[in-house]
Amino acid sequence: MPDMPDTTINLLGLDTASLAKLVSQWGDKPFRANQLSRWVHQRGVADFDQMTDLAQAFRARLHEHCCVQPPTVIERHQSTDFTRKWLFDVGQGNAIETVYIPEDDRGTLCISSQAGCTVACPFCSTGHQGFNRNLSTAEIVGQLWWARHELTASGIGHRLPTSPRSTQPLLTASPNASVHQPLDRIISNVVFMGMGEPMLNYDAVLGAIRLMLDDHGYGLSRRRVTVSTSGVVPMIDRLAQDCPVALAVSLHAANDALRDKLVPLNKKYPIATLLAACERYLAVAPRDFITFEYVMLNDVNDSPAHAAELIQLAKQISCKINLIPFNPFPSSGLTRSPAMRVKEFAQRLQAAGVIATTRKTRGDDIDAACGQLAGDVIDRTRLTQRAAERKTILIKEVRS
């Protein structure tokens, strides 16, 4: 990412309310903020001179004080299943990863919120890298801004559901996108499931969410923005008050003894405390269920007894279980549950009346699948060193 003067304002980090405050300080009328937001986020324009309906004096002030600067792309990869992954430079030797997953009825962007992660789940590649810092709102939104810009420029025609009598998509991407359809549904869903624990970078993530929901920004609905958390209970309650969107919880075990090993944060916020927070969240959530993510680890959490425990948990709260076949990486020491065992596990849940789906693995040939995002992080927490020292002990504990 190019160095910018400390006083330069990156507009990718300001929602419409913040823009309105800035414009007001300059003595301009509030509608300028809406115009500017649409130019930046809906049309993806970074050159102020191209914002032709803004007064020349206003554009001059933008040149003097502001910029539109997403993180710089270092690498890009495309999978055989058309999943795309970008590696973004976020400065000081750190890089983050962002993934785009196209499907027949949606286009989902998986974005990162931190350079690394402090939660250190043993099955997650990011967690094995340690942690450097939180991303700013501009760096978070910049991933969405850049992905939409590149996908549109490449002429991608992401399909929405077709009409019953036609095989033609109802809407496709266009470089001349209408401001009334800000994403043209190239990116219809955004999930905070990339690198980092979003709830441990709450303020920046909240600012990014508000921009994604803003009608002058990206215009997404609350149902189409999902925050995934390993269970930071106080921040779940804050999000319920501030800006409730869809919530996914990385569960991975239905008893505290095992979850303490798989999700270390459970020692601070055990399952009963987490479920109570989820129940409170449901009162204001845009969906009438919480998604519980459950990675399937061979001989760790995939037995019939584990399924029975998960069934009992699921009966306590309105939820959907998303089973995730583990995507191995060399330093984990863990392996994926056999496909038949995953299928039988899902069938046990479904037979008990629990809504359960198995996530299709996407982008694993470019290390873009769930749990594989690693980026490039200079660990300032010594987490990787400590993890290496206890790796053998941890794996033995998980399997015991």
Contacts of 43 (CB under 8 A, 6+ apart): 177, 179
Structure tokens, 109: 């962007």
Phi-psi region of 184 (alpha: psi -120 to 50; beta: other; left: phi over 0): left
Angle formed by the axes of helices 304-314 and 339-351, to 10°?
A: 40
Q: How far apart are alpha carbons 108 and 186 in whole angstroms?
A: 8
Q: Which member of 110, 278, 319, 370 is catalytic?
A: 370
Quickly list DSSP for 261-328: HHSGGGGTS-HHHHHHHHHHHHTT-SSSSEEEEEEEBTTTS-SHHHHHHHHHHHTTSSEEEEEEE---
Contacts of 28 (CB under 8 A, 6+ apart): 58
Helices (H), 6-95: 16-25, 31-37, 56-65
Sign for the pseudo-dihedral over CA of 223, 225, 228, 232? negative
The b-or-e profile of 190-213 (16+ CB within 10 A means b, else e) is bbbbbbbbbbbbbebbbbbbbbbb
Q: How far apart are alpha carbons 27 and 274 in whole angstroms?
A: 47
Helices (H), 72-164: 137-153
Quickly list DSSP for 202-253: HHHHHHHHHHHH-TTTT---GGGEEEEES--HHHHHHHHHH---EEEEE---
Structure tokens, 184: 């043209």
Residue 97 designated active-site = yes
Instruction: With CA atoms as reference, report the closest residue to 42 among 214, 205, 158.
Output: 214
How long a stretch of residues is the chain? 400
Q: Tokens 């279980």 correspond to what residue?
A: 321
Q: Which member of 97, 139, 197, 293 is catalytic?
A: 97
Q: How far apart are alpha carbons 388 and 395 in whole angstroms?
A: 11
**Please, what is the end-to-end C-alpha distance for the chain in angstroms?**
45
User: Which residues are known catalytic residues?
Assistant: 97, 370
